[in-house]
Structure 1
Amino acid sequence: MASGIENILALRGDPPRDSASYDRASDAFQYAEQLVKFLKERSSRNGGRGFGIGVAGFPEGHPDTPNRLKEMDYFKQKIDAGADYICTQLFFDNRDFYDFRERCELAGIHVPIIAGIMPVSTKNGFVRMAELSLGSRFPAKLLRAVGRAADDTATARVGLHWATEQCRDLLDNQVRGIHFYTLNKSDATRQVFENLGVSSSRALQGQGSKD
């Protein structure tokens, strides 16, 4: 594209913080599916590939949809509307990602799934993650390790080790890509790269993929 932007992550978005008078029914796009369809139609009008369009995936389940069977039906609607790839919410147990990937296959969803990883850096940040991720599970082993950490420096080491092992396991199991939630702090991501022995993000894209 002329602007250099090639991909758009289409998200429904969070309601305003002061949401007492907020009415989602008045939004132009009430659901991400509608935004995907809008982008797909307009990005390909002039021919060519247009924008790559991504959507959010929730390995542990969407917080607004407790019915997990219905959740996959709704999720497939976003893919069928024209999404090219999925970027997941952060998670700390890879088994949740693999289960989500398999459920996508069962639902007939075959676009690439990019795993969302966020290294723990501080104990306060850990609590903030729980708020941002809207229901992510924190494995007992991780909680125990963070609880043992004497200070934020030790907590960061725990988080770096956990994220590195997550990424190593994901790459060994043919993940199509890894997205790091950095919150504008890239030190941990760079250290994960070093631990994995890679120097470029290309090494984290599509290992084991046949296409």
Structure 2
Amino acid sequence: MTTAAQSIRELKAPAFSFELLPPLKGNSISRVYRTIDALKDFKPLFVNITSHRDEVVFRSADGGLYERKVTRKRPGTVAVAASIKHRYGIPVVPHIICSGFTRSETEYALIDLNFLGIHDVLLLRGDKAQRDRFYEPAEAGNAYAIELIEQVNNLNKGVFLDETLAEAFETPFSFGVAGYPEKHEEAPNLDSDLFWLKKKVDAGAEYVVTQMFFDNSKYFAFVEKCRAAGITVPIVPGLKPITLKNQLTVLPKIFHTDIPEDFAKALRTCKTDEEAARVGVEWTTMQARDLLDNGVKLLHFYTMMATQSVRKVAEQIY
């Protein structure tokens, strides 16, 4: 079986991949299918499916009070991955995250994926809970991605949490990790961020997918620093077309990425979201062409609220 990492390494021509979210709890999977139907013509190398932790919500109760409930708004990462694989035959790479999950829950998810014949995963620490000022790992959970990598490596050897040694998986998990051209928000500096990225690669990560960025020079500088640090695995650039006017301020706040002034100026002149989406497609197309012209083989797209924009970009470059 060819892994995502092997497919990335062996690319001879430009290729396309994308990330999508599981549907909100209570919604059908039809929106996921519509996203894939809109993008499958570009023969995606793989599809990432995000994973989400539980969150606290407050609901009105009797007497003007509020009731505190813990809920996971987007369950179903494993099931969505299996559904895509079964329905479309497209390789899938579900996210496995530390945040909000115990080691036991992670082990069960990996066992389920193994039973389903899904052996590619993207291993991430994950975001802090919305209610928390600082990241806190789940009790009895992995604190950082490097610990999650260790758990996956142990499972590949047949070592389970109860310390039994079973038969190693016939097909071991292959995994990638995340990279941050503008550094992770919690890293003291980019060099420190790269130190830990190299630790993850040395522990077995076979490729890196970057956080979204809007300035290609930052990606190229990041790759150069990675190579100087001895990180030799493929580094896949992550792109997202802006589709709404308010994303000019929302995306930098959430994802801690800069928007170049030329792009910001063009977005500020937009009077409607439709105009902003057109500008977003133009900018992402420019980014994509520049990356391909400079030898990048795989472009990875974040589709959240941007499926049609991603399609418009792909139509122009593939």
Query: TM-score scaled to structure 2, two decimals?
Result: 0.57
1:8 aligns with 2:117: no
CA distance in 2, matches of 1:153, 1:67: 37
Query: 1:207 matched to which residue of 2?
Result: none
How do residues 29-178 of structure 1 correspond to structure 2 at under 5 angstroms?
Answer: 29-43=142-156, 45=158, 46=168, 50-133=172-255, 135-178=256-299
CA distance in 1, matches of 2:283, 2:220: 17
The structure richer in strand per residue is 2
How do residues 12-27 of structure 1 correspond to structure 2 at under 5 angstroms?
Answer: 12-19=125-132, 23-24=136-137, 26-27=139-140
Post-superposition offset of 1:68: 2.6
Post-superposition offset of 1:175: 1.6
CA contact (8 A) 1:113 1:176 kept: no
Give SS of 2:246's match: helix
Post-superposition offset of 1:37: 2.1
CA distance in 2, matches of 1:148, 1:126: 12
In structure 2, runs of 5+ residues without a counterpart are 1-113, 159-167
Larger mean Cα displacement after TM superposition, 122-131 or 99-108: 122-131
CA distance in 1, matches of 2:248, 2:118: 32
1:183 aligns with 2:296: no
CA distance in 1, matches of 2:222, 2:199: 16
CA shift in 2, pair 1:91/1:20, >3 Å: closer
Give SS of 2:210's match: strand
CA shift in 2, pair 1:20/1:151, >3 Å: closer
Q: Identical aligned pairs, as a percentage?
A: 37
Q: How many residues align?
A: 196
CA shift in 2, pair 1:114/1:22, >3 Å: closer
CA contact (8 A) 1:53 1:83 kept: yes
Higher CA-based Rg: 2
CA distance in 2, matches of 1:48, 1:173: 38
CA distance in 2, matches of 1:22, 1:83: 23
CA shift in 2, pair 1:7/1:138, >3 Å: same
CA distance in 2, matches of 1:112, 1:49: 22
Larger mean Cα displacement after TM superposition, 157-166 or 58-67: 58-67
The amino acid across from 1:39 in the alignment is V
Give SS of 1:88's match: strand
Larger mean Cα displacement after TM superposition, 35-44 or 84-93: 35-44
